[in-house]
Amino acid sequence: MTCREVAEVLHDYVSGELDDSENGEIFRHLQNCESCRAKARQMQELRTRIRDLLRTPAPGHLRARVLSLRSE
Ligand SMILES: [Zn+2]
């Protein structure tokens, strides 16, 4: 697998949406490829951050503002 091919499916890989054989191929590539490993790590961190953001409830005043906007 080339770095290019890995880059194309890396998002699916970190999302856990690939099947076992694809997962295995990418895993092996990442073990031997520093730059793809860094990319995978960044993508993983981004995913975690977005998930945390979505999980954090909006502050009260922001929520009130959104609600008031909706009723206009
Ligand atoms: Zn690579």
- Fold classified for 3-71: Arc Repressor Mutant, subunit A (1.10.10)
Q: What is the pLDDT of residue 45?
A: 95
**Greatest distance between any 2 Cα atoms in the chain:** 56
CB atoms within 10 A of CB 7: 13
**For 8-19, how does the pLDDT look when each residue is reduced to its tens digit (9 = 90+)?**
999 999 999 999
Q: How far is the CA of 41 from the centre of ligand 1 (A)?
A: 13
Interval between CA 6 and ligand 1 midpoint (Å): 7
pLDDT tens profile 22-59:
999 999 999 999 999 999 999 999 999 988 888 887 77
Give the residue among 12, 4, 63 at the shortest CA–CA distance from 36. Answer: 4
Determine the distance separating the centroid of ligand 1 and the alpha carbon of 13, expressed in angstroms: 14
What is the CA(51)–ligand 1 centre distance, in A? 26
What distance in Å separates the CA atoms of residue 53 and residue 69, rounded to the nearest whole number? Answer: 22
> Structure pTM?
0.69
Task: Quote the CA–CA distance of 40 and 31 in Å, as a whole number.
Answer: 11
Q: How far is the CA of 17 from the centre of ligand 1 (A)?
A: 19
